[in-house]
């Protein structure tokens, strides 16, 4: 194994789990999340010789992941890909009560893809507006409007008395 492959293997091992969690929040399905992460890391590997020493490698990888998700939604992911084997279902990332998580994930699944991506990057990944804009390939104003619309859409699907303190 050469240095390029070794560095990529180490990065993949350390960051693929976090990227899988983000992908799950984007698409709402663990199987599709794994496909998204795999596609993103394949794209990253192709550019590895240019970006391996870059200090913002996580941001670049997240950008690839988000753009892959958005591209697949435009092209109709489920019309191109067919699952070939069953895998066990994973649980959502642990935060709050399980009932609250289920309500929130169900509501998030009803939010349009670009709005959902803006919400996940801004609030789950805690990214700035500018960083989110770079990851999504759009302007900061678009991120702000997509976030506002996404929050409105999310509020429509989440009863205000659902969450506990």
Summarize pLDDT for 30-86 with one digit per residue, the tens.
Answer: 999 999 999 999 999 999 988 877 778 999 999 999 999 999 888 665 544 545 555
More confidently predicted of 113 and 54: 113
Asked whether the beta carbons of 118 and 147 are under 8 A apart, the reply is yes
* Cβ atoms within 10 Å of 122's Cβ, excluding its own: 20
pLDDT, position 74: 81
* Cβ atoms within 10 Å of 92's Cβ, excluding its own: 16
Provide the pLDDT confidence category of residue 5 given band limits of 50, 70 and 90.
confident
Instruction: State mean pLDDT over 12-23.
Output: 95
More confidently predicted of 129 and 103: 129
Residue range 118-161, pLDDT digits in tens = 999 999 899 999 999 999 999 999 999 999 999 999 989 887 65
Tell me: pLDDT of 93 over 50: no
| 61: alpha, beta or left? (left if phi > 0; alpha if psi -120 to 50) | alpha
Asked whether the beta carbons of 149 and 141 are under 8 A apart, the reply is no
Provide the pLDDT confidence category of residue 94 given band limits of 50, 70 and 90.
very low
Residue range 71-82, pLDDT digits in tens = 988 866 554 454
Tell me: pLDDT of 88 over 70: no
pLDDT, position 112: 93
- Decide: helix, strand or coil at residue 35: helix
pLDDT, position 163: 52
């Amino acid at each position: 194994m050469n240095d390029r492959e070794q560095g990529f293997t180490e990065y993949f091992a350390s960051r693929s789990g976090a990227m899988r969690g983000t992908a799950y929040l984007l698409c709402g399905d663990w199987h599709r999340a794994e496909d998204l992460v795999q596609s993103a890391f394949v794209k990253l590997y192709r550019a590895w010789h240019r970006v391996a020493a870059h200090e913002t490698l996580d941001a670049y990888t997240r950008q690839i992941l988000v753009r892959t998700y958005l591209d697949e939604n435009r092209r109709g992911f489920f019309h191109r890909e067919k699952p070939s084997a069953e895998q066990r279902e994973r649980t959502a990332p642990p935060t709050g009560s399980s009932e609250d998580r289920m309500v929130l994930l169900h509501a998030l699944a009803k939010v349009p893809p670009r709005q959902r991506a803006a919400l996940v990057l801004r609030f789950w990944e805690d990214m700035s507006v500018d960083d989110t804009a770079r990851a999504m390939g759009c302007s900061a104003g678009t991120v702000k409007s997509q976030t506002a619309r996404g929050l409105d859409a999310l509020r429509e699907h989440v009863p205000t008395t659902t969450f506990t303190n």
